[in-house]
Structure formats: structure tokens, C-alpha cells
Amino acid sequence: MTSLRKYLTLNSGRRIPTVGLGTFLMKNDVLREALDYALYIGYRHIDTALSYGNEVEIGDVVASRIKDGTVKRADLFITTKIPPIYLDYQDCLQSAEKSLDNLKLKYVDMLLIHHPCGNPNRGDGNFKPLDENGEREIVSYDILRTWKAMEKLVGENQTVHIGLSNCQPTVINKIWKAAKIKPSNLQLECHAYLQQKELGKLCTERGIIMTSYGALGAITRPNQSGNKPVLLDDLVIKEIASRINRTPGEVLLNYVAQLNRGILPKSQTKIRLKQNIEVLDWCLSKEDIKLIQTLDRNVKYFDFPWAKNHPDYVPNQPF
């Protein structure tokens, strides 16, 4: 095998591009310029979320490029997400409508529940409401009611597929058992230090495509703590990269893609955007894959400490 699949097949039979453009923390002209170039060089999957606050910019660029013929809507795969404050049935429907308005689209290709552990909707659009102690305020929603709202959105052609993000096996199985429309996608943190083998096995059994964020070790994540190892500085990764004349980032992305998982690398520089989408054009050797498999050490950069206080969180389950 000299290259990797550029598309993965969802349980609907439709395809999702293996490499997508992650847009977390990207906004304004920086995002507009990066997305415009990404579309020009062949990116067709764009990942966003209502809580990212950047759907309007994405909608502007996409609408412009569809209008001038650079891309066709049918060739694009747009993913967005329902935030934890909008997990109530009606709020979920309204969240999706707001995203479509922002994105200037009639439908998205994938709509995900961003996190199953809920926060209260105070009506002020605050995605991270705090309680009187300054801690993230939490509330439990009936996740099966949320899923029914997601199914309704499919029925109304506002989204083609529905899926989950940052979910534990208990939640996935609960939804799977009750769902009329099964989850197509699970998006979560996955990289060489957090290889998500248990959830990977579950997704394979259920026919759910797993998509990885943070495949480079979440180097731009906010509130970074200094006690976690820097994945891009790993000596094994650097040795492999040097030996095969690739960057450590390219090695890390290629590895996750070889697990038959989607990847959502984020960049605003042209050279990295190009390297990231070309990462499917070559393959790591079996020997190097085995080396990277030994690096799995359950290092989670996005650990969502607030969610671990939530009554719906299951201790010691991966997500």
C-alpha cells in the first residue's frame, strides 16, 4: 500500500473525506484566508461548531466559492455541532437552525452532539455558564430526547448525518440501542499518546466512523498545563520523521489515518495546510506503525475537568 484512502464510508453508504480542516480557535480574517486556500488546494471537509463562534466566516467563504464555481455544494462535507447548553429538545432544533443561518446553508452534512454532559441554557448565549462558586454549572438532559431532535433534523433535511462527540461507551450504547437513525460518526481526541483502542473497537463493531481531533497533540489548546508531554517532541516520532524525510506532524497524522480514522488538522499557514492534505499520499511502514503503537499512554490534552463532576459522567471510561 503506497497511499491511504481519501474517503471513509459512513453507515449510510455516503463518504466523508478522511482529512478535514479543523477550525477550533480560528476566527476572522485568519480563518477566511486559511479556508479559502484550503478549498483551493482540495480540502472538502470543514469542521466547525456553534460554540467556536466562527460559522459566519465559514459561511461567507463557502458561499463565495460556491458562487464563483470554485467548489460545488455537493462536493463539500460540512460538520457542525450542538453545544452542551442546547441539549434540550427544542433548544437542539433551534441550535441547528442558527448554525444553518450562520453557515448560509440549507443543510449540513454532519451534525454532532458536541458533548453529552449538559450545561444550563440561560438564554444569554453563554456556552460556559458558571455557578456561584465560579465552577462550570452542569445540568442533566435526557440525551435520548436530544437524539430524537437530531433525528427530526434529518427528517427535515437540515442535516444528512448525525453523530456524537466526546462520548463514553455507556452513552454511545444507550443512544445506539434506542436510535431509529444510528450515529454515523464519533469525533474525539485521538493521537499517538491517546490511541482510543476501546472506543475504536466499539466504533468498528457499530459501523461508526471515528474522527480524530488533536492528532498533533493539541499544541494550541487553551489553558495548557506544563506537566503533559509534548507529542511533537517525542523522540520516537522525531527519529521516524528524520529517517523518512517527513515532519513529526506528518508522521502523527499519517499514523492516525492508517487506523482508518478521519483527521482534522488545523493550520493557518499555506505550507502546513498543503502538507496536511497530502499526508494520505504515502504510508508509514509496518515497523514504524508498531513503534508508534508502543507510545500509547492515555495522555488526554482536552480532559474536560468540568464534565468529570457531571452525574452523567462514568469514571474510568474513555472519551
Catalytic residues: 52
Residue 314 and residue 319: Cα distance in Å, rounded? 10
State which amino acid sits at residue 77: F
CA 198 to chain centre: 18
| Nearest C-alpha neighbor of 64 from the set 99, 32, 25 | 32
Instruction: State the burial class of residue 217 (Cβ atoms within 10 Å of its Cβ: 0-12, 13-18, 19+).
Output: buried
Residue 256 and residue 260: Cα distance in Å, rounded? 7
Residue 34 and residue 15: Cα distance in Å, rounded? 24
C-alpha cell at position 278:
497530502
Residue 134 and residue 115: Cα distance in Å, rounded? 20
| Nearest C-alpha neighbor of 77 from the set 51, 52, 112 | 112
Radius of gyration of the chain from its Cα atoms, rounded to whole angstroms: 19
Buried b / exposed e along 77-116 (16+ C-beta atoms within 10 A): bbbbbbbbbbbbbebbbebbeebbebbbbebbbbbbbbbb
CB 89 within 8 A of CB 121: no
Q: Please, what sign has the CA dihedral across residues 38, 44, 45, 51?
A: positive
Contacts of 201 (CB under 8 A, 6+ apart): none
End-to-end CA distance of the chain: 31
C-alpha cell at position 142:
435526557
